[in-house]
Chain A
Amino acid sequence: MIEIQDLHKSFNSHAVLKGIDIVVKDGETLSIIGGSGCGKSTFIKCIIRLHQPDRGRIVVDGQDISEVRDEFELAKVRRKFGYLFQESALFDSLSVAENVAFGLKYLTDIPLNRHRRIATEKLALVGLKGVEDLRPSELSGGMKKRVALARAIAAEPEYILYDEPTTGLDPIMSEIINELILDLKKKIGVTGIVVTHDMKSAFRISDRIAMLHEGKFLEVDTPAGIKTTKNPYVRQFVEGLSQGPIQMKLRELD
C-alpha cells in the first residue's frame, strides 16, 4: 500500500505539487490524469524518489521513504518498484535481453546464468519472441515500449509506475499496451499507478482515476464516477473541450 500525505514539490520557486494526499491500495490500478505539465510525471518521480519531495510523507508498506537519503537504502526501496518511462529509456549500448535483465543484477540475488532465461520469459509475457539479441535502435516504438515494460517487471516489483504508456503509439498498439497492463494486474497482481492523458486508456485500465490540476487532486473516483462527474474541471478534461474553467495557456509568457 502506498500512502501519500501532503506531498509538495517545487522547482525554483515554481510550485508543481501543492499538497497531494492519496492512498493507493494493493492490487489496484490508479490513473492520474491532467493536462501536460501539470506535474503528473513529477508526482510518480517523487514516489520512486527520482525527485526529492520538499515536504510530505510517502509511506510504502509502512515505511516512510520521503526522507531516505542513503543510496543503498534507496535501492532497497526501488526494488519494490518498476518504472515504465515515457520514451522507454532503453539503454542503446545493450541488447534487448541485457536491457530486460539489467535490474536483476542490482535489485535481486538471482545468479547471472539465469538472467537470460528470465529476460526471455518476461519478453514472452509482453508478447515478444526472438528479439533478445536485437539492439533497441532496431525496434519500433511499440516494441520499445513492450521491451521497457518487460524490463520494468523483470525483478517482479510489487508496484509499477507507468509514465504515459500509450503516448505516441497507434490506437491498436495502445490497446495492446492496455491489455498488457490489465494482464499484469491479473497475472502478477501488481499495483499500478498510470500517468496518462489518454482518457480511453484511463477508463479501460483503471480501478480509480485521479485528476491532477494546479498541484492538487481535484477528484478521485472510479471510471464510472469520473464519466458522470459534476465537477466542471474534470468534465472539461474528460470531454476534451477547449472552452471551460481550465484555461490552457496559449503562450508560455501569459
Chain B
Amino acid sequence: MIEDTRRNIMRQVPARRKYTLLAGTLEILGQKLLLLAEILGRTALLVRSTFFWFLKSSLEVRQSFIQCLKIGVQSLPVTAMTSFFTGMVLALQSGMTSRDLFNEPIYVGTVVAFSMVKELGPVLTAIVVAGRAGAAIAAEIGTMRVTEQIDALNTLGTNPIRYLVIPRYIGCFFMLPLLTVFSNFSGVLGGFVVSVVRLNIPSTVYWDDIFTFMENEQFFHGFLKSFVFALTIATVSCYKGLNTRGGAEGVGRSTTSAVVVSMVSILILDYFLTAILVAFGIS
C-alpha cells in the first residue's frame, strides 16, 4: 500500500517540469510527510483493531504461551548475560574513577544499581528483545504474508490480529518487564562481582550503598518504562510483518526495518518517558 502511494505520487509528477530548488525540496519533503502520515495512520489502525479483538474474541491461550516462551524464556540467557557484563563494566568504570578522585572506590553499588534499575536494565533488555524477538516476529508474520498464510487464516474463520498479533502483544507485554527485573538483578550481581573481586570493596559496603539510597520509585521508574517498550516492539514488529510485500527480499526488508525502527523508537521514547515520569515524581 505504501509502495502504491509512492507510485501514485510519482505518477502525478509531470515528467519534464522544471523545478526550482525550493519547489523540488518541498515536494520531496511533502512526499516523505505523506508517507509518514500514512504509516502512522495504519499503525494506529493496527493498534485499534488489536484492542478491539482483544476485547471481542476469546484469547488464543496456547499461542500466547508459545509467544511468552519464545519472547521471554528464550531471551533470558542473552539479556542476563548482557546486563551482567554491563553491571561489571559500570562497577569497574565508576570504581576506577572514584579511586582516581578520592583514592578509594566509593558509591560503586549506588552507581551500578541506579544506572541498571532506572536506565540500562529496561533499555538494554528492550534493545536485546527488539533484536531477537522483534526480528523473529517481523520475519515470521512477513513470511506468512508473502506465502498467503495470512489469507488462509481469514478463510479458516479467524484473522491475523486474533491469531498472530494479540499473542505476540501478550508475550511482549508480560515478558519484557519480567526480563527487565531479571536484568536488573543480573547487572547488580555483575557489579557486585567486580566490586568484591577487583576493587576489594567489602560486600556489605556494596549492598549498603544500594539499600541506603534506593527506594521503590527508582525501581518502578524503570519497570514502568519497560511496559511501553514492550508495546513499541510488538506494534512495530507486527506492523512490519503484516505489511510485508515482495517475497523473500520483502521479508528481509521488513525484518531489518522492524529492528531498526524498534531500537530507535525505544531510545527516543526513553527520554520522553523519563521526562514524564520525573514530572509525576516517579524518579
Contacts and interface: CB of A to CB of B under 8 A. Distances in A.
Interface of A: 11-13, 45, 48, 50, 71, 75, 78-79, 81-83, 85-87, 89-93, 102-103, 105-107, 151, 155
18 contacts: A48-B155, A50-B151, A50-B154, A50-B155, A79-B157, A81-B155, A83-B152, A89-B147, A89-B152, A90-B149, A92-B144, A93-B140, A103-B156, A103-B157, A106-B156, A106-B157, A106-B158, A107-B156
A79 B157 CA distance: 7
B151 A102 contact: no
Interface in B152-205: 152, 154-159
Contacts of B144: 91-92
Contacts of A87: 147-148
B7 interface: yes
Interface string B133-146: 00000001001100
Given A87-B147, A87-B148, A89-B148, A12 B155 contact: no
A85 B157 contact: no
Nearest to B161: A71
Nearest to B149: A89
Contacts, number: 55
A187 B151 CA distance: 27
A106 to B, nearest CB: 3
B103 interface: no
B4 interface: yes
A81 to B, nearest CB: 7
B152 A91 contact: yes
B148 A85 contact: yes
Nearest to B60: A105
Contacts of A83: 151-152, 155
Q: How large is the interface on B (under 10, 10 to 19, 20 to 34, 35 or more residues)?
A: 10 to 19
B198 to A, nearest CB: 46
B8 interface: yes
A101 to B, nearest CB: 10
A52 to B, nearest CB: 12
Nearest to A107: B157
Given A45-B151, A71-B159, A89-B147, 18 more contacts: A12-B8, A50-B154, A50-B155, A78-B154, A78-B155, A81-B155, A82-B155, A83-B151, A85-B152, A86-B148, A89-B149, A89-B152, A91-B144, A92-B144, A106-B157, A106-B158, A151-B156, A155-B157
Contacts of A78: 154-157
Name which of A71, A79, A91, A92 has the most chain B CB atoms within 10 A of its CB: A71
B158 A12 contact: no
A56 to B, nearest CB: 21
A71 B158 CA distance: 9
B167 to A, nearest CB: 12
Contacts of A105: 157
Contacts of B4: 11-12
A223 to B, nearest CB: 28
- Give the 7 A-B CB pairs with smallest separation, nearest first: A106-B157, A103-B156, A89-B148, A107-B157, A89-B152, A83-B155, A106-B158
B149 A91 contact: yes
A89 B151 CA distance: 8
B64 to A, nearest CB: 14
B212 to A, nearest CB: 50
Contacts of B159: 71
A210 B159 CA distance: 31
B135 to A, nearest CB: 16
Contacts of B156: 78, 102-103, 106-107, 151
A150 to B, nearest CB: 13
A83 B4 CA distance: 27
Nearest to B143: A92
Given A12-B7, A12-B8, A85 B151 contact: yes
Nearest to B150: A89
Interface in B1-32: 4, 7-8
B277 to A, nearest CB: 38
A173 B152 CA distance: 23
B192 to A, nearest CB: 41
A78 B151 CA distance: 12
B98 to A, nearest CB: 52
Contacts of A107: 156-157
Contacts of A11: 4
A89 B4 CA distance: 25
Contacts of A85: 148, 151-152
Nearest to A103: B156
Contacts of B155: 48, 50, 78, 81-83, 103
